[in-house]
Amino acid sequence: MNRILTERFAEIRSHSEVICSDLKTEDYVVQPIVDVSPPKWHLAHTSWFFETFLLIPLLADYRPFHPQFSYLFNSYYEAVGSRTLRSDRGNLSRPTVKEVYAYREHVDRAMLVLLAQPGLSGETLALIELGLNHEQQHQELLITDIKYILGHNPLFPPIEIPLQQRQVSYADWVAVAAGIYSIGATADSGFCFDNEQGRHAVSLGAFNIAGGLVTNEEYLAFIRDGGYHRCELWHSDGWAWLQQNAVKAPMYWHERDGDWLVYTFAGLAPVALNEPVAHVNFYEASAYAAWAGARLPTEVEWEVASGRFDWGARWEWTNSAYLPYPGYQKAEGAVGEYNGKFMVNQMVLRGASEATPAGHSRATYRNFFQPELRWQYTGIRLAR
């Protein structure tokens, strides 16, 4: 078991560096907005997680790489101590990129020693698994943060970034009968986050859910029909966001002489009409659904129906607030801050995206973001 876990650890840790392999040194330190962290910070923070929660408490004679790195690379774990303000991560010219990679090597060498020890406890193995999934979450953030950094550069530079090829279908509507259904992860489901646990019964009325995601062509029809100028389609908060930010299209779209272009990792290109729309927020998704005479599915509806359509190309907005399942209990200590503290003012997304690492998606996964955010690969599936 330790050999398999060691190989998986090495593979996942290596993939973070593969994502960054085409970056220039200057790209590693940019933080254009508070929600986007510098790539250098992601590489260090994921190492800090293993160092803080596994190596320091469990590996005898382990010496932290640098006494100040806990302050620099803690994200939001109040129980672990003070930290750099999130908005200041881009101000850290030091440590250098080279030192951050040395930090990763230091942590990886020590983790291999820990992984080689016989008889690791179930609690330790669970923490290692959490650390690996945490790194995979940051791999997706690395991709989307790099895209924001380069996609807001006037040069629109191309870059090699590994993305997953996800199957996309344009099937018709799926009818789901009224009934009692069960959602959530079970004890034998394999790894899941604590916010997925607590499988429970739900009662649903009959509904229909789209077999495919809304495409760029369909969203373009919404734009051309004045969707961004029709207040009756928008939530009040969404309309206020729209007016404040003067938005008229999904993120990365640019209108040039009547044509729409979009920034991709290959550079600026014409919008591909048959691809699922991406980089829209909850407000935009809800407005589009209203324009189309439909609505967004709830997360319960999405999970119940998920076995009947292709998913994984885009994170899909639901009309569900991010709240705990019945009987939810936070874990003790700092690890308990992982999900529960964010269960307010956020909306649930389901599925995965082409930026989600292989093996890091499941039908019970509950992603969540504030309704105004759209730098992730977020898309739209309709219900009615």
| Average pLDDT of the segment spanning 141-161 | 98
Residue 30, helix vs strand vs coil = coil
pLDDT for residue 1: 55
Q: Which helix (H) or strand (E) holds 14?
A: helix 2-19
The structural domains of the chain, ordered by start, are: 2-151 (1.20.120), 174-379 (3.90.1580.10)
| Average pLDDT of the segment spanning 69-80 | 82
* C-alpha 49: how far from chain center: 18
What is the percent of the chain with per-residue pLDDT over 90, rounded to a whole number?
87
pLDDT band at 337 (very low <50, low <70, confident <90, very high): low
Is omega for the bond preceding 95 within 30 degrees of 0, making it cis? yes
Contact 296, 319 (CB under 8 A): yes
Pairing of strands 378-379, 315-321: parallel
Q: Each residue of 312-335: pLDDT tens digit?
A: 999 999 999 999 999 898 877 667
Look at residues 171, 172, 371, 183 and name the one whose alpha carbon lies nearest to residue 281. 371
What is the percent of the chain with per-residue pLDDT over 70, rounded to a whole number?
98
Query: Is the pLDDT confidence value at 80 over 90?
Result: no
pLDDT band at 170 (very low <50, low <70, confident <90, very high): confident
pLDDT for residue 188: 83
Query: Is the pLDDT confidence value at 161 over 90?
Result: yes
pLDDT for residue 130: 94
Task: Tell me what the pLDDT averaged over the chain comes to.
Answer: 95
Residue 378, helix vs strand vs coil = strand
| Average pLDDT of the segment spanning 295-304 | 98
Q: Each residue of 37-50: pLDDT tens digit?
A: 999 999 999 999 99
Q: Which structure tokens are listed for 91?
A: 């101000």
| Average pLDDT of the segment spanning 265-276 | 97
In angstroms, the CA 137 to CA 139 distance is 5
pLDDT for residue 381: 98
